[in-house]
């Protein structure tokens, strides 16, 4: 799938993804994956349904779905570079991703966000009705190596 709109290319072609650019953003600018190793980013791309936003061949946005392809999908690592925000790119990307052929008929789509509730609520995401039914193991700052001196 590839869509061009207003000079931006939206694509699910993993061959187009600039993993170095994705790693740079996630490891230095995201609050959720600070310090993530390049090998981990590469493995996450290989094992997910990925989407990129490109402007003149430059990776300006990214997102991926972790899914079993039958019942469940978790949206992760969504970003648009700061200089390209405010142009509706996130909304266009969400629309493309939610209607992607491989993501139809699932019973649960989920994500975690600290600051983009307004965006995701426009697409039907809401706080859990019964958060007590969900459990997780969360390793805070998993990728940040601390000195053991």
Asked if the model's pLDDT at residue 148 lies above 50, the reply is: no
Distance CA 111, CA 79 (A): 13
Domain count, the chain: 1
Residue 144: its pLDDT value, please? 78
Q: In this structure, is residue 120 part of a structural domain?
A: yes
User: Which residues contact residue 42 at a Cβ distance below 8 angstroms, ignoring those fewer than 6 apart?
Assistant: 19, 23
If phi > 0 it is left, if psi is from -120 to 50 it is alpha, else beta; for residue 14 that is: alpha
Q: In this structure, is residue 106 part of a structural domain?
A: yes
Q: In this structure, is residue 139 part of a structural domain?
A: no
Asked if the model's pLDDT at residue 147 lies above 50, the reply is: no
- Is the pTM value of this prediction over 0.85? yes
pLDDT mean across residues, the chain:
93
Q: What is the mean pLDDT of residues 38-66?
A: 97
């Amino acid at each position: 799938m590839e869509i061009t709109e207003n000079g931006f290319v939206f694509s699910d072609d993993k061959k187009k993804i600039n993993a170095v650019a994705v790693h740079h953003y996630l490891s230095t600018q995201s609050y959720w994956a600070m310090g993530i190793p390049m090998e981990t980013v590469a493995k996450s791309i290989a094992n997910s349904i990925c989407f990129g936003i490109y402007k003149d061949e430059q990776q300006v946005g990214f997102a991926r779905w972790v899914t079993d392809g039958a019942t469940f999908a978790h949206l992760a690592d969504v970003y648009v570079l700061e200089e390209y925000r405010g142009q509706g790119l996130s909304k266009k990307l969400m629309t493309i991703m939610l209607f992607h052929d491989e993501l139809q008929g699932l019973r649960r789509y989920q994500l975690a966000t600290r600051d983009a509730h307004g965006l995701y609520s426009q697409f039907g995401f809401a706080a859990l009705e019964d958060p007590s039914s969900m459990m997780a193991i969360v390793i805070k700052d998993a990728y940040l190596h601390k000195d053991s001196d």
